[in-house]
Amino acid sequence: MSNSRHVPVMLQRCLDLLAPALERPGAVVVDCTLGLGGHSEALLGRFPEARLVALDRDKEALRLSGERLAPFGERATLVHAVYDELPDVLDRLGIPAVQGVLFDLGVSSMQLDEAGRGFAYAQDAPLDMRMDQTTGISAAEVLNTYAPGELVRILRAYGEEKQAKRIVSAIVRERDKEPFTDSARLVELIRDSLPQAAKRTGGNPAKRTFQALRIEVNGELTVLERAVPAAVKALAVRGRIAVLSYHSLEDRLVKQVFAAGAANTAPPGLPVVPERYQPRLKLLTRGAELPTEEEVAENRRAAPARLRGAERIREDAE
List the CATH number of the domain containing 260: 3.40.50.150
Q: Which of 140, 198, 126, 202 is nearest to 165 (CA)?
A: 198
- Asked whether residue 143 falls in the same domain as residue 212, the answer is yes
State yes or no: 39 annotated in a binding site.
yes
**Could you tell me if residue 317 is inside a domain?**
no
- Asked whether residue 159 falls in the same domain as residue 210, the answer is yes
- Asked whether residue 103 falls in the same domain as residue 224, the answer is yes
Distances 60 to 38, 105, 160, 310 between C-alpha atoms, Å: 15, 17, 30, 31
Given a contact cutoff of 8 angstroms between Cβ atoms, the answer to whether 223 and 248 are in contact is: no
Rounded Cα gap, residues 238 and 310, in angstroms: 10
List the CATH number of the domain containing 126: 1.10.150.170
For the chain, how many helices (H) and strands (E)? 14, 7
Structural domain of 168? 116-218
Low-confidence ranges of the chain (pLDDT < 70): 1-6, 106-123, 197-203, 317-318
Which SS3 state, helix, strand or coil, does residue 134 take? coil
The identity of residue 285, as a single letter, is T
Given a contact cutoff of 8 angstroms between Cβ atoms, the answer to whether 182 and 198 are in contact is: no
Domain count, the chain: 2
- Asked whether residue 149 falls in the same domain as residue 297, the answer is no
pLDDT number for residue 1: 35
Q: Which of 213, 206, 183, 34 is nearest to 110 (CA)?
A: 34
- Asked whether residue 195 falls in the same domain as residue 164, the answer is yes
pLDDT number for residue 110: 45
Cβ atoms within 10 Å, residue 51: 20
- Asked whether residue 224 falls in the same domain as residue 106, the answer is yes
Cβ atoms within 10 Å, residue 12: 12
Cβ atoms within 10 Å, residue 10: 23
Q: Which of 216, 6, 243 is nearest to 105 (CA)?
A: 243
First and final C-alpha spacing in the chain: 48
Last residue of a domain, one of 218, 234, 255: 218
State yes or no: 256 annotated in a binding site.
no
State yes or no: 104 annotated in a binding site.
yes
- Asked whether residue 103 falls in the same domain as residue 227, the answer is yes
What secondary structure does DSSP assign to 145-196, as a single string?
HS-HHHHHHHHHHHH--TTHHHHHHHHHHHHHHS---BHHHHHHHHHHHS-H
In degrees, rounded to 5, the angle at the alpha carbon of residue 28 between the alpha carbons of residues 27 and 31 is 140
- Asked whether residue 31 falls in the same domain as residue 90, the answer is yes
- Asked whether residue 265 falls in the same domain as residue 281, the answer is yes
State yes or no: 196 annotated in a binding site.
no
Bridge partner residues of 100 (DSSP): 29, 240
State yes or no: 84 annotated in a binding site.
no
**Could you tell me if residue 2 is inside a domain?**
no
Q: Which of 226, 207, 199 is nearest to 84 (CA)?
A: 226
State yes or no: 83 annotated in a binding site.
yes
Rounded Cα gap, residues 254 and 309, in angstroms: 10
pLDDT number for residue 318: 55
- Asked whether residue 225 falls in the same domain as residue 87, the answer is yes
Last residue of a domain, one of 183, 218, 253: 218
**Could you tell me if residue 99 is inside a domain?**
yes
State yes or no: 38 annotated in a binding site.
yes
Last residue of a domain, one of 172, 199, 218: 218
**Could you tell me if residue 121 is inside a domain?**
yes
**Could you tell me if residue 318 is inside a domain?**
no
**Could you tell me if residue 235 is inside a domain?**
yes
pLDDT number for residue 120: 59
pLDDT number for residue 198: 63
pLDDT number for residue 131: 79
